[in-house]
Structure 1
Amino acid sequence: MLARTLIAIFICASSLPVASAQQDPVPRIDRFQAGYYHFKLGDFDVTALSDGTLPIPADVLLTGAKPGEVAARLAETYQTTAVDASINAYLIKAGHRLVLVDAGTGELYGPTLNKLAASLGAIGYQPEQITDILITHIHTDHTGGLMDGQRIVFPNATVHVEQRELDYWMSAANRARAPDSARQYFDQAAAKMKPYVDSGRVKTFSGATQLFPGIRSIPSPGHTPGHSFYALESRGEKLVFWGDLLHVAEVQLPNPAVTIVFDVDPAAAAAQRKQAFADALKGRYWVAGDHVAFPGVGHLRADGDGYRWVPMPYVNDYYVPALK
């Protein structure tokens, strides 16, 4: 299973329109987009942060769909199968803590990404101020931003990750069983995580764990062995950070059985998705997806046999005192 999955990752990643920082795509806009969006969740201040977007071939990467289904569902939302996938992270201001959920891509996936530090700076924070980072999983579009070459980007942060997830990607035995072409993914994971491990800045947990007041982990294995959701709860409100529960919402919401080549265990990932969708609908709580169109926060509603995304309404109600 490991070898087959990693071979698929290698083949598909090699075919992406933007696969390295050396490739210069034709720009479609000539201005920076705003890379942040603030909102309140009970007593917490939360900010969605954009690391950028990456064009991906959805019809190549998604698996388990009927012939033509991916193209047809994307056409319903006026898109082609060349989908611009968002890479999102989230900042939680929790008392004296600044908690980041996932850390972006860093330099690994090309020039349209690696914007997390700029988005963070635009809201007045520097990486040195981050106290904690919650890693949903160790795929390097979520951990690539931890390092800039040999430099630790978040020197004062404790990185929280599921023990099983860390063990999987740091395993020399797993790397040895992988084909030569796929070992780079273990190497990248080690390059991004091991400096934090070596400096004593990684704190692991196992299963459902209360990490801080109002913040807890929820086991969600499937996409990777130690994939974790994080629930944020305050004053009767709830938001669950889904990580990589879904990659192409326009396809996987109406058909949760559709998987992606990056799933380590596709069957478990599909089952996890169905369960999470049903629970979000029943609980009527907010959810946030790392690859849902920025800012990636919304609700689910039932739509036939599947679901539909209801994005968080845009609010710009910051009060500016009148000048005297």
Structure 2
Amino acid sequence: MLNRRHFLGAGMAGASALTFSSVWSQNTPQLGAPELPSVGFKRMKLGSMEIIALNDGALRRPLGQEFVPAVPLDQIKALLATQNLPTDYIDIPFTPFLLVNGNQRYLFDTGFADNGPPTTGKLLGNLAAAGFKPEDINNVVLSHFHGDHINGLRFKNGNLVYPNARVHVPAPEHAFWTDETRIAAAPAGMQGAFGAVKRALTGLTADQLVKFEPGSNVAPGIQSVAAFGHTPGHTLFTVRSEGQSFAYVADITNVPSLFARNPDWAVLFDMNPEMARQSRRKIFDMLVKEKMMAGGFHFPFPAFGSITPSGNGYQFVPVA
């Protein structure tokens, strides 16, 4: 049962932060710009299906105490240092995934389109490089309603980026972000987050907007998996074909070098940190047990690979 009070506390500031690209783009000149992949798509066969990682760019932000609340900054930097990673900034990539199953094409999450900073908005170019046009996408599947996952539904001018797509959304996520009483009671800092959802979804017809209950099948071979905590209805997806399996884990970990390695830490953007911790453990245990290939929205490109145990946590091992 989702508890309204769990999601109207301090964690709501994180959701608000993701509505505005300026919060992600806390660049300072001395930090430089994130390095983007020279080829921004990666294909993987999955039985009779194909999965394509499509990079939408990346952002670099200074690493401060606020990023992992309640954990001393020196511990955070020490964990990064053990992996030979920078300790003064964090690079956050954005990678939706396209599942091709015959004439059905499912885009999982949307990135920014033309609504983000200069180092984002690369998805459509990478989609074209992979051989697809926006009109070819007939299904968009949203894991949750943070801005970097939904802003790419529409261009700045309001036009739909994927005009032929039905938009599949988790019912509890939709219920939370469209509840007028909740919107009216939300603090000023949250109004932008609610506004982004309204902008993305308003005007979609009953045929275009499809709500599903987490745990149900979205389509043949695609099952949704409840992973609440990051947001009230945060949902993942498993795909199975001819004995092979893949999981799109969305934001189960914002930065795997931190939150896979230490799943009990919580990122600034987790709206219910304790619930998010429980979901992280559950999902990573499933990936290890079932030996599933995993893809994450914020994983380092090519953004999919395997999850292996590491100490008290896990490690993301990208595909070659």
* TM-score for the superposition, normalised by structure 1: 0.88
Contact 2:34–2:91 (Cα < 8 Å) also in 1: no
Residue equivalent to 1:318: none
CA distance, structure 1, for counterparts of residue 167 and residue 176 of structure 2: 16
CA distance, structure 2, for counterparts of residue 131 and residue 261 of structure 1: 33
- 1:149-188 pair list within 5 angstroms: 149=156, 150-188=158-196
CA distance, structure 1, for counterparts of residue 167 and residue 214 of structure 2: 16
Residue equivalent to 1:289: 296
CA distance, structure 1, for counterparts of residue 197 and residue 29 of structure 2: 25
Deviation at 1:8, TM superposition (A): 4.7
Residue equivalent to 1:191: 199
Residue equivalent to 2:75: 69
Contact 1:51–1:87 (Cα < 8 Å) also in 2: yes
Contact 2:17–2:24 (Cα < 8 Å) also in 1: no
CA distance, structure 1, for counterparts of residue 37 and residue 217 of structure 2: 38
Residue equivalent to 2:210: 203
Deviation at 1:215, TM superposition (A): 1.0
Q: Secondary structure at the match of 1:271?
A: helix
Residue equivalent to 1:86: 93
Q: Secondary structure at the match of 2:151?
A: helix
**1:25-45 deviation digits (Å, cap 9, x = unpaired):** 997589973210111011111
CA distance, structure 2, for counterparts of residue 235 and residue 99 of structure 1: 18
**1:247-274 deviation digits (Å, cap 9, x = unpaired):** 1111112210111121121100000001
- 1:111-260 pair list within 5 angstroms: 111-149=118-156, 150-196=158-204, 198=205, 200-260=207-267
Question: Structure 2 residue aligned with 1:300, among 292, 307, 312?
Answer: 307
**Which structure has the larger Rg?**
1
Identity of aligned residues (%): 28
Segments of 5+ residues of structure 2 without an aligned counterpart are 1-6
CA distance, structure 1, for counterparts of residue 42 and residue 252 of structure 2: 21
Q: Secondary structure at the match of 1:229?
A: strand
Contact 2:53–2:97 (Cα < 8 Å) also in 1: yes
Q: Secondary structure at the match of 1:37?
A: strand
Compared with structure 1, are the counterparts of its residues 112 and 81 closer, same or farther at alpha carbon in structure 2 (3 Å cutoff)? same
Deviation at 1:310, TM superposition (A): 1.4
Residue equivalent to 1:53: 58
**1:74-113 deviation digits (Å, cap 9, x = unpaired):** 1222312411111000111101101111111233431110
Q: CA RMSD in A?
A: 2.5
CA distance, structure 1, for counterparts of residue 238 and residue 14 of structure 2: 31
Residue equivalent to 2:274: 267
**1:166 counterpart letter in structure 2:** H
Segments of 5+ residues of structure 1 without an aligned counterpart are 314-324
Compared with structure 1, are the counterparts of its residues 136 and 143 closer, same or farther at alpha carbon in structure 2 (3 Å cutoff)? same
**1:162 counterpart letter in structure 2:** P
CA distance, structure 1, for counterparts of residue 285 and residue 36 of structure 2: 39
Contact 2:26–2:60 (Cα < 8 Å) also in 1: no
Deviation beyond 6 Å, 4+ runs, structure 1: 11-15, 23-27, 29-32
CA distance, structure 2, for counterparts of residue 94 and residue 279 of structure 1: 24
**1:107-162 deviation digits (Å, cap 9, x = unpaired):** 34311101111111111211111010111111110111100021011111011111
